[in-house]
Chain A
Protein backbone atom coordinates (compact mmCIF):
# COMPACT_ATOMS: atom_id res chain seq x y z
CA UNK A 1 0.00 0.00 0.00
CA UNK A 2 0.97 3.60 -0.39
CA UNK A 3 3.11 5.12 2.30
CA UNK A 4 1.29 7.77 4.30
CA UNK A 5 2.50 11.36 4.01
CA UNK A 6 3.99 11.23 7.47
CA UNK A 7 6.48 8.66 6.27
CA UNK A 8 8.42 11.52 4.69
CA UNK A 9 9.36 12.62 8.19
CA UNK A 10 11.21 9.46 9.16
CA UNK A 11 14.44 10.81 10.52
CA UNK A 12 17.60 10.10 8.58
CA UNK A 13 16.03 7.51 6.39
CA UNK A 14 18.09 6.69 3.33
CA UNK A 15 16.16 7.81 0.26
CA UNK A 16 18.52 6.99 -2.56
CA UNK A 17 21.33 4.47 -2.39
CA UNK A 18 23.39 3.64 -5.44
CA UNK A 19 26.50 1.55 -5.32
CA UNK A 20 29.03 0.66 -8.00
CA UNK A 21 26.56 1.53 -10.74
CA UNK A 22 27.59 0.66 -14.30
CA UNK A 23 25.39 1.30 -17.31
CA UNK A 24 26.27 0.66 -20.90
CA UNK A 25 24.28 1.03 -24.09
CA UNK A 26 25.30 -1.70 -26.52
CA UNK A 27 28.93 -1.52 -25.43
CA UNK A 28 29.15 2.27 -25.02
CA UNK A 29 29.80 3.08 -21.39
CA UNK A 30 27.40 5.71 -20.07
CA UNK A 31 28.16 5.37 -16.38
CA UNK A 32 30.72 3.33 -14.46
CA UNK A 33 31.19 2.69 -10.78
CA UNK A 34 28.87 5.53 -9.79
CA UNK A 35 27.92 5.69 -6.13
CA UNK A 36 25.53 7.98 -4.35
CA UNK A 37 23.73 8.04 -1.02
CA UNK A 38 21.08 10.61 -0.17
CA UNK A 39 19.20 10.88 3.10
CA UNK A 40 15.65 12.07 3.54
CA UNK A 41 15.18 15.80 3.51
CA UNK A 42 17.86 17.14 1.23
CA UNK A 43 18.25 19.00 -2.02
CA UNK A 44 20.99 17.70 -4.21
CA UNK A 45 22.26 19.23 -7.45
CA UNK A 46 23.37 16.88 -10.20
CA UNK A 47 25.90 18.70 -12.31
CA UNK A 48 27.69 17.56 -15.44
CA UNK A 49 28.15 18.22 -19.12
CA UNK A 50 25.82 17.00 -21.83
CA UNK A 51 26.37 13.29 -22.16
CA UNK A 52 28.00 13.05 -18.76
CA UNK A 53 25.37 10.55 -17.66
CA UNK A 54 22.87 12.76 -15.84
CA UNK A 55 19.84 11.42 -17.61
CA UNK A 56 21.29 7.91 -17.56
CA UNK A 57 21.45 8.16 -13.78
CA UNK A 58 17.86 9.43 -13.71
CA UNK A 59 16.71 6.57 -15.92
CA UNK A 60 18.48 4.08 -13.68
CA UNK A 61 16.86 5.58 -10.59
CA UNK A 62 13.46 5.33 -12.25
CA UNK A 63 14.11 1.75 -13.28
CA UNK A 64 14.01 2.42 -17.03
CA UNK A 65 17.41 0.88 -17.62
CA UNK A 66 18.89 -2.07 -15.87
CA UNK A 67 22.44 -1.36 -14.72
CA UNK A 68 24.97 -3.94 -15.92
CA UNK A 69 26.47 -3.86 -12.45
CA UNK A 70 25.72 -2.30 -9.08
CA UNK A 71 22.62 -1.86 -6.96
CA UNK A 72 20.07 0.86 -6.48
CA UNK A 73 17.70 1.18 -3.57
CA UNK A 74 15.00 3.78 -3.10
CA UNK A 75 13.69 4.07 0.46
CA UNK A 76 15.52 0.82 1.11
CA UNK A 77 13.56 -0.99 -1.61
CA UNK A 78 14.48 -2.25 -5.07
CA UNK A 79 13.49 0.27 -7.76
CA UNK A 80 10.53 -1.69 -9.15
CA UNK A 81 9.02 -2.00 -5.69
CA UNK A 82 9.61 1.68 -4.90
CA UNK A 83 7.85 2.50 -8.19
CA UNK A 84 4.80 0.57 -7.15
CA UNK A 85 4.74 2.50 -3.87
CA UNK A 86 4.72 5.75 -5.90
CA UNK A 87 8.01 6.76 -4.26
CA UNK A 88 9.66 8.36 -7.28
CA UNK A 89 8.31 11.26 -9.31
CA UNK A 90 9.99 12.63 -12.39
CA UNK A 91 9.34 16.23 -13.37
CA UNK A 92 10.14 16.48 -17.06
CA UNK A 93 11.52 19.37 -19.05
CA UNK A 94 8.31 20.68 -20.52
CA UNK A 95 9.91 20.75 -23.98
CA UNK A 96 9.59 16.97 -24.06
CA UNK A 97 5.82 17.11 -23.64
CA UNK A 98 3.23 17.37 -26.41
CA UNK A 99 1.60 20.65 -25.40
CA UNK A 100 -1.26 20.33 -27.86
CA UNK A 101 -2.49 17.16 -26.14
CA UNK A 102 -6.14 17.69 -25.15
CA UNK A 103 -5.80 17.60 -21.37
CA UNK A 104 -6.43 20.25 -18.75
CA UNK A 105 -4.20 21.26 -15.85
CA UNK A 106 -6.50 19.29 -13.55
CA UNK A 107 -6.23 16.16 -15.74
CA UNK A 108 -2.44 16.31 -15.73
CA UNK A 109 -2.19 16.66 -11.96
CA UNK A 110 -4.72 13.85 -11.53
CA UNK A 111 -2.30 11.60 -13.45
CA UNK A 112 -0.12 11.78 -10.35
CA UNK A 113 -2.84 9.85 -8.54
CA UNK A 114 -3.25 7.04 -11.10
CA UNK A 115 -0.74 4.79 -9.40
CA UNK A 116 -2.78 4.83 -6.19
CA UNK A 117 -6.15 4.32 -7.87
CA UNK A 118 -7.88 1.10 -8.84
CA UNK A 119 -7.45 -0.35 -12.32
CA UNK A 120 -10.16 1.80 -13.86
CA UNK A 121 -8.50 4.94 -12.45
CA UNK A 122 -11.72 6.32 -11.07
CA UNK A 123 -10.82 9.20 -8.72
CA UNK A 124 -12.09 9.10 -5.17
CA UNK A 125 -12.75 12.16 -3.04
CA UNK A 126 -9.29 11.76 -1.48
CA UNK A 127 -7.71 11.89 -4.95
CA UNK A 128 -9.57 15.07 -5.81
CA UNK A 129 -8.52 16.59 -2.50
CA UNK A 130 -4.89 15.71 -3.18
CA UNK A 131 -5.07 17.32 -6.63
CA UNK A 132 -6.72 20.45 -5.24
CA UNK A 133 -4.11 20.71 -2.52
CA UNK A 134 -1.26 20.25 -4.99
CA UNK A 135 -2.69 22.92 -7.29
CA UNK A 136 -2.98 25.32 -4.37
CA UNK A 137 0.65 24.80 -3.48
CA UNK A 138 1.83 25.71 -6.97
CA UNK A 139 -0.75 28.52 -7.20
CA UNK A 140 -2.56 27.11 -10.22
CA UNK A 141 -5.97 26.30 -8.76
CA UNK A 142 -7.57 29.15 -10.73
CA UNK A 143 -6.24 27.74 -14.00
CA UNK A 144 -7.30 24.14 -13.33
CA UNK A 145 -9.64 23.90 -16.31
CA UNK A 146 -7.24 25.43 -18.81
CA UNK A 147 -5.81 23.15 -21.50
CA UNK A 148 -2.08 22.75 -20.96
CA UNK A 149 -1.43 24.16 -24.42
CA UNK A 150 -2.61 27.57 -23.22
CA UNK A 151 -0.11 27.78 -20.35
CA UNK A 152 3.15 29.65 -20.22
CA UNK A 153 6.37 27.68 -19.77
CA UNK A 154 6.47 28.46 -16.07
CA UNK A 155 2.86 27.49 -15.49
CA UNK A 156 3.44 24.24 -17.33
CA UNK A 157 6.44 23.49 -15.15
CA UNK A 158 4.34 24.15 -12.05
CA UNK A 159 1.66 21.81 -13.38
CA UNK A 160 4.15 18.95 -13.54
CA UNK A 161 5.48 19.84 -10.12
CA UNK A 162 1.91 19.70 -8.81
CA UNK A 163 1.59 16.23 -10.33
CA UNK A 164 4.63 15.11 -8.32
CA UNK A 165 3.08 16.62 -5.17
CA UNK A 166 -0.24 14.89 -5.83
CA UNK A 167 1.65 11.63 -6.28
CA UNK A 168 3.06 12.10 -2.75
CA UNK A 169 6.45 10.95 -3.98
CA UNK A 170 9.26 11.00 -1.46
CA UNK A 171 11.95 11.24 -4.14
CA UNK A 172 11.68 13.95 -6.80
CA UNK A 173 13.83 13.91 -9.89
CA UNK A 174 13.79 17.25 -11.68
CA UNK A 175 15.22 17.80 -15.12
CA UNK A 176 16.44 21.38 -15.63
CA UNK A 177 13.64 22.84 -13.50
CA UNK A 178 14.70 26.44 -14.02
CA UNK A 179 14.98 26.32 -17.80
CA UNK A 180 12.80 28.95 -19.42
CA UNK A 181 10.62 29.84 -16.44
CA UNK A 182 9.45 33.27 -15.37
CA UNK A 183 10.65 34.99 -12.20
CA UNK A 184 7.47 34.25 -10.27
CA UNK A 185 7.68 30.54 -11.01
CA UNK A 186 11.36 30.45 -10.16
CA UNK A 187 10.75 32.02 -6.74
CA UNK A 188 7.79 29.78 -6.04
CA UNK A 189 9.70 26.66 -7.02
CA UNK A 190 12.72 27.55 -4.89
CA UNK A 191 10.36 28.10 -1.96
CA UNK A 192 8.58 24.80 -2.62
CA UNK A 193 11.86 22.88 -2.81
CA UNK A 194 12.81 24.15 0.64
CA UNK A 195 9.38 23.12 1.95
CA UNK A 196 9.77 19.68 0.38
CA UNK A 197 13.10 19.30 2.11
CA UNK A 198 11.56 20.19 5.47
CA UNK A 199 8.79 17.66 4.81
CA UNK A 200 11.47 14.99 4.45
CA UNK A 201 11.44 14.56 0.70
CA UNK A 202 14.64 14.21 -1.24
CA UNK A 203 15.11 16.26 -4.36
CA UNK A 204 17.63 15.55 -7.06
CA UNK A 205 18.00 18.39 -9.56
CA UNK A 206 19.79 17.87 -12.83
CA UNK A 207 21.02 21.22 -14.09
CA UNK A 208 23.46 23.23 -16.12
CA UNK A 209 22.75 26.32 -14.09
CA UNK A 210 25.48 26.53 -11.52
CA UNK A 211 24.19 29.64 -9.75
CA UNK A 212 21.08 27.78 -8.58
CA UNK A 213 23.22 25.00 -7.20
CA UNK A 214 25.15 27.47 -5.08
CA UNK A 215 21.91 29.13 -3.91
CA UNK A 216 19.96 26.29 -2.43
CA UNK A 217 21.40 22.82 -2.95
CA UNK A 218 22.61 21.25 0.30
CA UNK A 219 24.57 18.66 -1.58
CA UNK A 220 26.07 18.46 -4.99
CA UNK A 221 27.05 15.55 -7.20
CA UNK A 222 29.52 16.25 -9.98
CA UNK A 223 29.43 13.63 -12.68
CA UNK A 224 31.23 12.79 -15.85
CA UNK A 225 30.62 9.13 -16.65
CA UNK A 226 31.16 8.50 -12.95
CA UNK A 227 30.70 10.43 -9.73
CA UNK A 228 33.72 12.73 -9.64
CA UNK A 229 32.92 14.39 -6.36
CA UNK A 230 29.97 14.43 -4.06
CA UNK A 231 29.18 16.02 -0.71
CA UNK A 232 28.23 19.30 0.96
CA UNK A 233 27.95 22.07 -1.58
CA UNK A 234 30.30 24.33 0.36
CA UNK A 235 33.04 21.70 0.27
CA UNK A 236 32.57 20.11 -3.11
CA UNK A 237 31.47 23.01 -5.25
CA UNK A 238 34.93 24.46 -5.74
CA UNK A 239 36.25 26.04 -8.93
CA UNK A 240 38.76 23.20 -9.28
CA UNK A 241 36.09 20.51 -9.05
CA UNK A 242 33.81 22.34 -11.44
CA UNK A 243 36.65 22.73 -13.91
CA UNK A 244 37.34 19.02 -13.63
CA UNK A 245 33.67 18.20 -14.25
CA UNK A 246 33.49 20.33 -17.33
CA UNK A 247 36.73 19.02 -18.76
CA UNK A 248 39.11 21.77 -17.69
CA UNK A 249 37.14 24.79 -18.87
CA UNK A 250 37.64 27.78 -16.57
CA UNK A 251 34.61 28.13 -14.28
CA UNK A 252 33.81 31.68 -15.33
CA UNK A 253 32.91 30.38 -18.75
CA UNK A 254 30.58 27.85 -17.27
CA UNK A 255 28.73 30.13 -14.93
CA UNK A 256 27.63 32.21 -17.90
CA UNK A 257 24.19 31.85 -19.43
CA UNK A 258 23.02 28.26 -19.63
CA UNK A 259 23.67 26.70 -22.99
CA UNK A 260 20.72 25.83 -25.15
CA UNK A 261 21.99 22.33 -25.87
CA UNK A 262 19.82 19.40 -24.99
CA UNK A 263 20.44 16.93 -22.22
CA UNK A 264 22.38 13.87 -23.38
Chain B
Protein backbone atom coordinates (compact mmCIF):
# COMPACT_ATOMS: atom_id res chain seq x y z
CA UNK B 1 0.00 0.00 0.00
CA UNK B 2 2.71 2.41 0.98
CA UNK B 3 4.79 1.39 -1.98
CA UNK B 4 1.85 2.07 -4.29
CA UNK B 5 1.39 5.53 -2.85
CA UNK B 6 5.05 6.32 -3.25
CA UNK B 7 4.84 5.19 -6.87
CA UNK B 8 1.83 7.28 -7.69
CA UNK B 9 2.88 10.44 -5.90
CA UNK B 10 5.59 11.62 -8.30
CA UNK B 11 3.32 10.81 -11.25
CA UNK B 12 0.34 12.64 -9.87
CA UNK B 13 2.58 15.48 -8.78
CA UNK B 14 3.81 15.82 -12.37
CA UNK B 15 0.32 15.52 -13.84
CA UNK B 16 -0.90 18.20 -11.49
CA UNK B 17 1.93 20.51 -12.48
CA UNK B 18 1.20 19.90 -16.17
CA UNK B 19 -2.56 20.22 -15.97
CA UNK B 20 -3.04 22.97 -13.42
CA UNK B 21 -1.94 25.82 -15.72
CA UNK B 22 -4.37 24.56 -18.36
CA UNK B 23 -7.29 25.50 -16.11
CA UNK B 24 -6.48 29.15 -16.78
CA UNK B 25 -7.69 30.52 -20.10
CA UNK B 26 -4.74 32.88 -20.39
CA UNK B 27 -2.28 29.99 -20.05
CA UNK B 28 -3.99 27.96 -22.77
CA UNK B 29 -3.91 30.99 -25.06
CA UNK B 30 -0.27 31.69 -24.21
CA UNK B 31 0.75 28.09 -24.88
CA UNK B 32 -1.08 27.98 -28.22
CA UNK B 33 0.20 31.33 -29.46
CA UNK B 34 3.77 30.64 -28.34
CA UNK B 35 3.80 27.24 -30.00
CA UNK B 36 2.39 28.67 -33.22
CA UNK B 37 4.83 31.57 -33.32
CA UNK B 38 7.64 29.22 -32.32
CA UNK B 39 6.87 26.87 -35.19
CA UNK B 40 6.65 29.67 -37.75
CA UNK B 41 9.84 31.37 -36.58
CA UNK B 42 11.58 28.00 -36.35
CA UNK B 43 10.82 27.27 -40.00
CA UNK B 44 12.05 30.69 -41.06
CA UNK B 45 15.16 30.44 -38.88
CA UNK B 46 16.55 27.74 -41.21
CA UNK B 47 16.70 30.22 -44.06
CA UNK B 48 18.07 32.98 -41.84
CA UNK B 49 20.98 30.88 -40.55
CA UNK B 50 21.79 29.37 -43.95
CA UNK B 51 21.61 32.72 -45.73
CA UNK B 52 23.62 34.42 -43.00
CA UNK B 53 20.88 36.90 -42.23
CA UNK B 54 20.94 36.74 -38.42
CA UNK B 55 21.98 40.38 -38.18
CA UNK B 56 19.27 41.27 -40.66
CA UNK B 57 16.73 39.57 -38.39
CA UNK B 58 17.98 41.62 -35.47
CA UNK B 59 17.74 44.79 -37.54
CA UNK B 60 14.22 44.18 -38.81
CA UNK B 61 12.86 43.21 -35.41
CA UNK B 62 14.18 46.40 -33.82
CA UNK B 63 13.14 48.60 -36.71
CA UNK B 64 9.45 47.69 -36.36
CA UNK B 65 9.13 49.62 -33.07
CA UNK B 66 8.15 53.02 -34.54
CA UNK B 67 5.64 51.19 -36.76
CA UNK B 68 4.00 49.60 -33.75
CA UNK B 69 3.81 52.93 -31.92
CA UNK B 70 2.39 54.82 -34.92
CA UNK B 71 -0.15 52.07 -35.61
CA UNK B 72 -1.36 52.14 -32.01
CA UNK B 73 -1.61 55.94 -32.08
CA UNK B 74 -3.67 55.81 -35.29
CA UNK B 75 -5.75 52.86 -34.03
CA UNK B 76 -4.59 50.66 -36.91
CA UNK B 77 -3.64 46.99 -36.57
CA UNK B 78 -0.15 47.19 -35.09
CA UNK B 79 1.12 44.49 -37.45
CA UNK B 80 0.44 46.77 -40.40
CA UNK B 81 2.65 49.52 -39.02
CA UNK B 82 5.30 47.05 -37.98
CA UNK B 83 5.36 45.49 -41.42
CA UNK B 84 5.69 48.84 -43.17
CA UNK B 85 8.62 49.87 -40.99
CA UNK B 86 10.24 46.43 -41.15
CA UNK B 87 10.26 46.42 -44.95
CA UNK B 88 11.12 50.11 -44.99
CA UNK B 89 14.21 49.54 -42.86
CA UNK B 90 15.37 46.77 -45.17
CA UNK B 91 14.87 48.95 -48.23
CA UNK B 92 16.73 51.78 -46.53
CA UNK B 93 19.62 49.48 -45.61
CA UNK B 94 19.85 48.38 -49.24
CA UNK B 95 19.70 51.96 -50.47
CA UNK B 96 22.34 53.36 -48.11
CA UNK B 97 24.64 50.41 -48.80
CA UNK B 98 24.38 50.95 -52.55
CA UNK B 99 24.79 54.72 -52.48
CA UNK B 100 27.57 55.08 -49.94
CA UNK B 101 30.92 53.50 -49.23
CA UNK B 102 29.94 52.42 -45.71
CA UNK B 103 30.12 48.64 -45.24
CA UNK B 104 26.96 46.60 -44.87
CA UNK B 105 27.22 45.62 -41.20
CA UNK B 106 27.75 49.27 -40.24
CA UNK B 107 24.76 50.32 -42.36
CA UNK B 108 22.58 47.67 -40.73
CA UNK B 109 23.74 48.74 -37.28
CA UNK B 110 23.06 52.41 -37.80
CA UNK B 111 19.73 52.03 -39.60
CA UNK B 112 18.09 49.72 -37.08
CA UNK B 113 19.27 51.66 -34.04
CA UNK B 114 18.02 54.83 -35.72
CA UNK B 115 14.58 53.29 -36.23
CA UNK B 116 14.55 51.88 -32.72
CA UNK B 117 15.48 55.25 -31.22
CA UNK B 118 12.71 56.90 -33.24
CA UNK B 119 10.31 54.34 -31.83
CA UNK B 120 11.40 55.09 -28.25
CA UNK B 121 10.94 58.84 -28.73
CA UNK B 122 7.54 58.39 -30.40
CA UNK B 123 6.39 56.02 -27.67
CA UNK B 124 7.33 58.48 -24.94
CA UNK B 125 5.65 61.36 -26.79
CA UNK B 126 2.32 59.73 -27.69
CA UNK B 127 -0.34 59.90 -25.06
CA UNK B 128 -1.75 56.46 -25.63
CA UNK B 129 -2.16 53.40 -23.55
CA UNK B 130 0.62 51.45 -25.20
CA UNK B 131 2.88 49.69 -22.80
CA UNK B 132 6.42 49.98 -24.12
CA UNK B 133 7.54 47.25 -21.77
CA UNK B 134 5.14 44.78 -23.37
CA UNK B 135 6.35 45.61 -26.88
CA UNK B 136 9.98 45.29 -25.90
CA UNK B 137 9.71 42.16 -23.80
CA UNK B 138 6.51 40.51 -24.96
CA UNK B 139 3.25 39.92 -23.19
CA UNK B 140 2.01 36.56 -24.29
CA UNK B 141 0.25 35.89 -20.99
CA UNK B 142 -1.94 38.93 -21.52
CA UNK B 143 -2.49 38.60 -25.25
CA UNK B 144 -5.82 39.92 -26.53
CA UNK B 145 -8.19 38.11 -28.87
CA UNK B 146 -7.56 40.70 -31.60
CA UNK B 147 -3.82 40.12 -31.31
CA UNK B 148 -4.31 36.37 -31.51
CA UNK B 149 -6.29 36.83 -34.73
CA UNK B 150 -3.52 38.98 -36.19
CA UNK B 151 -0.86 36.46 -35.19
CA UNK B 152 -2.90 33.67 -36.76
CA UNK B 153 -3.24 35.59 -40.01
CA UNK B 154 0.45 36.51 -40.14
CA UNK B 155 1.52 32.96 -39.35
CA UNK B 156 -0.67 31.58 -42.11
CA UNK B 157 0.77 33.97 -44.68
CA UNK B 158 4.36 33.20 -43.64
CA UNK B 159 3.85 29.43 -43.65
CA UNK B 160 2.09 29.42 -47.02
CA UNK B 161 4.89 31.43 -48.65
CA UNK B 162 7.66 29.37 -47.07
CA UNK B 163 6.05 26.05 -47.94
CA UNK B 164 5.18 26.96 -51.53
CA UNK B 165 8.61 28.40 -52.25
CA UNK B 166 10.76 26.18 -50.04
CA UNK B 167 12.78 24.69 -52.90
CA UNK B 168 13.34 28.03 -54.60
CA UNK B 169 14.32 29.66 -51.32
CA UNK B 170 16.70 26.82 -50.50
CA UNK B 171 18.35 27.20 -53.90
CA UNK B 172 18.43 30.96 -53.42
CA UNK B 173 20.32 30.50 -50.15
CA UNK B 174 22.63 27.82 -51.52
CA UNK B 175 23.53 28.99 -55.02
CA UNK B 176 21.84 32.21 -56.16
CA UNK B 177 23.94 32.23 -59.35
CA UNK B 178 22.46 28.95 -60.50
CA UNK B 179 19.00 30.06 -59.45
CA UNK B 180 19.33 33.13 -61.64
CA UNK B 181 20.82 31.27 -64.57
CA UNK B 182 17.79 28.97 -64.80
CA UNK B 183 15.44 31.93 -64.87
CA UNK B 184 14.36 32.16 -61.22
CA UNK B 185 13.72 35.76 -60.17
CA UNK B 186 16.20 36.00 -57.30
CA UNK B 187 15.54 39.70 -56.74
CA UNK B 188 11.92 38.87 -56.03
CA UNK B 189 12.90 36.00 -53.71
CA UNK B 190 15.27 38.32 -51.83
CA UNK B 191 12.55 40.85 -51.07
CA UNK B 192 9.96 38.17 -50.44
CA UNK B 193 12.20 36.54 -47.84
CA UNK B 194 12.80 39.94 -46.22
CA UNK B 195 9.04 40.63 -46.16
CA UNK B 196 8.43 37.25 -44.58
CA UNK B 197 11.13 38.11 -42.05
CA UNK B 198 9.32 41.34 -41.19
CA UNK B 199 6.03 39.47 -40.77
CA UNK B 200 7.62 36.80 -38.59
CA UNK B 201 9.29 39.47 -36.47
CA UNK B 202 5.86 41.02 -35.92
CA UNK B 203 4.42 37.66 -34.91
CA UNK B 204 7.40 36.97 -32.67
CA UNK B 205 7.25 40.25 -30.84
CA UNK B 206 3.84 39.22 -29.51
CA UNK B 207 5.44 36.36 -27.70
CA UNK B 208 8.94 37.35 -26.74
CA UNK B 209 9.08 41.05 -27.60
CA UNK B 210 11.26 43.07 -29.93
CA UNK B 211 14.49 42.56 -28.03
CA UNK B 212 14.45 38.77 -28.00
CA UNK B 213 12.65 38.01 -31.24
CA UNK B 214 15.95 37.54 -33.04
CA UNK B 215 16.55 34.47 -30.88
CA UNK B 216 13.35 32.92 -32.27
CA UNK B 217 14.61 33.70 -35.77
CA UNK B 218 18.10 32.29 -35.38
CA UNK B 219 18.56 29.81 -32.53
CA UNK B 220 16.28 26.93 -33.71
CA UNK B 221 17.89 26.98 -37.13
CA UNK B 222 21.38 27.00 -35.65
CA UNK B 223 20.51 24.11 -33.34
CA UNK B 224 19.06 22.04 -36.18
CA UNK B 225 22.04 22.86 -38.40
CA UNK B 226 24.31 21.11 -35.91
CA UNK B 227 22.17 17.99 -35.96
CA UNK B 228 21.75 17.13 -39.63
CA UNK B 229 23.15 17.35 -43.13
CA UNK B 230 19.78 17.34 -44.88
CA UNK B 231 17.74 20.45 -45.45
CA UNK B 232 14.31 18.87 -44.98
CA UNK B 233 15.33 17.26 -41.72
CA UNK B 234 16.82 20.56 -40.60
CA UNK B 235 13.50 22.37 -41.07
CA UNK B 236 11.60 19.73 -39.07
CA UNK B 237 14.19 19.75 -36.28
CA UNK B 238 14.14 23.55 -36.14
CA UNK B 239 10.34 23.61 -35.92
CA UNK B 240 10.35 20.88 -33.29
CA UNK B 241 12.99 22.50 -31.08
CA UNK B 242 11.28 25.85 -31.41
CA UNK B 243 7.81 24.56 -30.47
CA UNK B 244 9.21 22.56 -27.55
CA UNK B 245 11.11 25.63 -26.33
CA UNK B 246 7.97 27.75 -26.49
CA UNK B 247 5.80 25.27 -24.58
CA UNK B 248 8.44 24.46 -22.01
CA UNK B 249 9.34 28.13 -21.63
CA UNK B 250 5.76 29.15 -20.91
CA UNK B 251 5.41 26.35 -18.33
CA UNK B 252 8.67 27.22 -16.62
CA UNK B 253 7.74 30.88 -16.53
CA UNK B 254 4.38 29.98 -14.92
CA UNK B 255 5.89 27.85 -12.22
CA UNK B 256 8.90 30.02 -11.54
CA UNK B 257 6.91 33.24 -11.87
CA UNK B 258 9.52 34.74 -14.18
CA UNK B 259 9.66 36.45 -17.56
CA UNK B 260 7.97 34.32 -20.24
CA UNK B 261 10.11 35.67 -23.05
CA UNK B 262 13.24 35.07 -21.02
CA UNK B 263 12.23 31.48 -20.25
CA UNK B 264 11.39 30.63 -23.86
CA UNK B 265 14.67 31.99 -25.15
CA UNK B 266 16.63 30.36 -22.32
CA UNK B 267 15.18 26.96 -23.22
CA UNK B 268 16.11 27.58 -26.86
CA UNK B 269 19.63 28.50 -25.82
CA UNK B 270 19.76 25.41 -23.63
CA UNK B 271 18.77 23.18 -26.55
CA UNK B 272 21.43 24.84 -28.68
CA UNK B 273 24.03 24.20 -25.97
CA UNK B 274 23.07 20.53 -25.83
CA UNK B 275 23.43 20.28 -29.61
CA UNK B 276 26.68 22.23 -29.49
CA UNK B 277 28.13 19.80 -26.97
CA UNK B 278 26.58 16.49 -27.91
CA UNK B 279 25.47 16.63 -31.57
CA UNK B 280 26.39 13.22 -33.04
CA UNK B 281 28.54 14.60 -35.82
CA UNK B 282 29.19 18.26 -35.17
CA UNK B 283 29.14 18.48 -31.37
CA UNK B 284 32.23 19.08 -29.27
CA UNK B 285 31.92 15.61 -27.73
CA UNK B 286 30.91 13.94 -30.98
CA UNK B 287 30.43 10.22 -31.00
CA UNK B 288 33.50 8.40 -32.24
CA UNK B 289 31.60 5.84 -34.28
CA UNK B 290 30.55 8.51 -36.78
CA UNK B 291 33.24 9.75 -39.12
CA UNK B 292 33.50 13.50 -39.32
CA UNK B 293 31.90 14.68 -42.51
CA UNK B 294 34.78 16.83 -43.58
CA UNK B 295 36.52 16.67 -46.93
CA UNK B 296 37.66 13.16 -47.77
CA UNK B 297 39.92 12.00 -50.54
CA UNK B 298 38.76 9.58 -53.16
A101 pairs with B182, CB closer than 8 A: no
Which chain B residue shows the least CB distance to A143?
B298
Contact A83 B182 (CB under 8 A): yes
Contact partner of B295 (CB less than 8 A), chosen from A102, A104, A152, is A152
The CA of A83 and the CA of B50, in the complex, are separated in Å by: 26
B173, CB-defined interface residue at 8 Å: yes
Known contacts being A114-B171, A147-B293, is A90 close to B181, with CB within 8 Å?
yes
**Cβ of B234: which chain A residues have Cβ within 8 Å of it?**
102
**Chain A CB within 8 A of B26 CB:** no
The answer to whether B183 and A115 have CB atoms under 8 Å apart is yes
**Which residue in chain A gives the minimum CB-CB distance to B228?**
A102
**Does A167 reach chain B (CB closer than 8 Å)?**
yes
B295 lies within 8 A of A88 (CB): no
Please determine whether B229 and A88 come into contact, CB atoms closer than 8 angstroms.
no
Do B174 and A101 have beta carbons less than 8 Å apart? Answer: yes
* B50: min CB distance to chain A, Å: 6
In the assembled complex, the Cα of A96 lies from the Cα of B176 at a distance in Å of 11
The answer on a CB contact under 8 Å between A119 and B298 is: no
A207 at the A/B interface (Cβ < 8 Å)? no
* In the assembled complex, B24 has its CB within 8 A of some CB on chain A: no
Contact B167 A121 (CB under 8 A): yes
Residues in B whose Cβ lies below 8 Å from that of A150: 229, 293-296
Shortest Cβ distance from A96 into chain B, in angstroms? 8
Q: Are B182 and A92 in contact (CB under 8 A)?
A: no
A140 shortest CB reach to chain B, Å: 10
Please list the residues of chain A having a beta carbon within 8 angstroms of any beta carbon in chain B: 62-64, 80, 83-84, 86, 88-90, 92, 96-99, 101-104, 107-108, 111-112, 114-115, 119-121, 147, 149-155, 163, 167, 182, 184
Chain A nearest CB from B147 CB (Å) reads 32
Q: A92-B175, A155-B298 are in contact. Are A114 and B184 (CB under 8 A)?
A: yes
Assembly CA distance A64 to B182 (angstroms): 11
Q: In the complex, are the beta carbons of B230 and A111 less than 8 A apart? A: no
B297 on the A face (CB < 8 A)? yes
Is B278 among interface residues, defined by CB-CB distance under 8 A? Answer: no
Roughly how many angstroms separate A115 CA and B180 CA in the complex, as a whole number?
10
> B164 touching A167 by the CB < 8 A rule?
no
Q: Which of B50, B173, B296 is the one whose CB lies under 8 Å from A151?
A: B296
B53 at the interface (CB under 8 A from A): no
Helix, strand, loop or mixed for chain A's interface? mixed
User: Which residue of B179, B181, B229 contacts A104 across the interface (Cβ within 8 Å)?
Assistant: B229
The yes or no answer to B225 lying at the interface (CB within 8 A) is yes
Q: Which residues of A contact B182 (CB under 8 A)?
A: 83, 86, 112, 114-115, 167
Report the minimum CB–CB distance from B247 to chain A (whole Å): 26
Distance of B194 from chain A, by nearest CB (Å): 20
Known: A103-B230, A104-B229. 11 other contacts (CB 8 A): A62-B180, A86-B183, A90-B177, A92-B178, A99-B295, A101-B231, A111-B175, A112-B182, A115-B183, A150-B229, A150-B295
Please indicate which of the listed interface residues B174, B180, B181, B294 has the most CB atoms of chain A within 10 Å of its own CB.
B181
Q: Is the CB of B229 within 8 A of A147?
A: yes
Which residue in B170, B180, B294 is a CB contact (below 8 Å) of A149? B294
Smallest beta-carbon distance B198→chain A, Å: 23
Taking CB atoms and an 8 Å cut-off, the chain B residues in 123-148 that contact chain A are none
**From residue A32, how far is it (CB to closest CB) to chain B in Å?**
24
Please, which residues of chain A bring their CB within 8 A of the CB of B179? 114
Residues of B near A90 (CB, < 8 A) are 177-178, 181
Report the minimal beta-carbon distance from A144 to chain B, rounded to whole angstroms: 13
- Complex formed: what's the CA distance from A51 to B298 in Å? 34
A199 CB to closest chain B CB, in angstroms?
A: 20
Given A111-B171, A121-B167, are A62 and B181 also a contact pair (CB < 8 Å)? yes
In the bound complex, residues from chain B placing their C-beta under 8 Å from that of A104 are 229-230
Q: How far is the CB of B230 from chain A (nearest CB, A)?
A: 6
Q: What separation, in Å, do the CA atoms of A86 and B178 have in the docked complex?
A: 11
Residues of chain B within 8 A (CB-CB) of A96 are: 177
A51 CB to nearest B CB, Å: 19
**Cα distance A153–B297 in the bound complex, in angstroms:** 9
The 15 sampled A-B contact pairs (Cβ below 8 Å) are A62-B177, A83-B181, A84-B183, A97-B174, A98-B174, A102-B230, A102-B233, A114-B171, A114-B179, A120-B164, A149-B294, A151-B295, A152-B296, A155-B298, A182-B297
